[in-house]
Every structure is written in structure tokens, then in C-alpha cells.
């Protein structure tokens, strides 16, 4: 194992008394790490920019996509209209000021840059 590998913890257990969120679905995500950043990609079909709420609070990343969908006349359903909600515990060695997010065609791409101290450094060996 590399020393500077960032590990993502499992998301916190869902908080109680959040009935609204109990009906929401955890979106499927990909999380990719390279030397510079962690990239999180989440599927949020049907969520527009206005409905997306992204937050980082005390190292907890919250992704919330609210949906308000017409459900009348439903004949057959494989997905609900309650939206998406998921939380992740972030590692400490990120530079959160450099976070960037993009939402396109219902796919959220979140780039979390690593702090300079967490990036691997190459040490030159001088041969005398």
C-alpha cells in the first residue's frame, strides 16, 4: 500500500428523523483517485442544476438532488420521484478550496483536489 493513498470512509449511517430523506435513493457513484485529486462521478438522472444541493460540512460531503415529479396515472414504475441523497466522509488531506463541480446530462462530476502536502513528491537522488 502506498503511504499517501487516500481512503474514503463509508458514508455515515442515515440520520434519524429525516423522513424526507428516507425516501430518497442513494445515487450510484464512481470514485477515482490519482496523484492530484479525487474525482467523484454520480448518476443523478432528472436532476437539474437548480435542484442539486452540494455541501461539505466538517469533512462530510452531502449530495442531494431533489425531484418533484408527476406521479398521476402511473402504470408501471421502476424508479421513484423522491430524488437522491448520499453522504461521504472525506479524507482530511484535501484542499477544499479547489473543489470544482459540473453537472451535465444528469451526471455530476466533482473534483476534489488533494492538498499539496498529500501529493507524492519525487526526490531526486544526486550522484556524486
Residues that bind other proteins (CB under 8 A): 5, 7-8, 28-35, 38, 41, 43-48, 70-80, 104-107
What is the Cα–Cα distance from 62 to 51, expressed in whole angstroms? 14
Is the Cβ–Cβ distance between 99 and 112 less than 8 Å?
yes
**Nearest distance from residue 99's CB to other proteins, in Å?**
17
Say which residue the cell 466538517 belongs to. 58
Nearer to other proteins, 104 or 128 (CB): 104
Query: H or E segment at 20?
Result: helix 19-22
CB of 7 to other proteins, least distance (A): 8
In which order are the strands placed within the sheet that holds 84-89?
52-57, 60-65, 84-89
Residue whose CB is less far from other proteins, 68 or 105: 105
Q: Name which of 45 and 55 has its Cβ closer to other proteins.
A: 45
Nearer to other proteins, 105 or 128 (CB): 105
Please classify residue 66 by burial: count the beta carbons closer than 10 Å to its beta carbon, then call 0-12 exposed, 13-18 middle and 19+ buried.
middle
Amino acid at each position: 500500500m502506498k503511504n499517501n493513498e487516500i481512503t474514503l470512509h463509508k458514508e455515515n449511517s442515515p440520520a434519524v428523523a429525516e423522513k424526507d430523506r428516507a425516501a430518497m435513493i442513494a445515487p450510484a457513484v464512481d470514485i477515482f483517485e490519482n496523484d492530484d485529486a479525487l474525482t467523484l462521478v454520480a448518476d443523478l438522472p432528472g436532476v437539474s442544476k437548480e435542484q442539486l444541493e452540494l455541501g461539505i460540512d466538517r469533512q462530510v460531503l452531502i449530495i442531494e438532488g431533489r425531484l418533484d415529479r408527476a406521479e398521476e396515472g402511473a402504470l408501471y414504475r421502476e424508479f421513484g420521484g423522491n430524488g437522491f441523497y448520499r453522504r461521504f466522509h472525506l479524507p482530511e488531506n484535501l484542499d477544499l478550496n479547489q473543489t470544482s463541480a459540473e453537472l451535465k446530462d444528469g451526471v455530476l462530476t466533482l473534483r476534489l483536489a488533494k492538498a499539496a502536502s498529500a501529493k507524492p513528491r519525487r526526490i531526486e537522488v544526486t550522484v556524486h
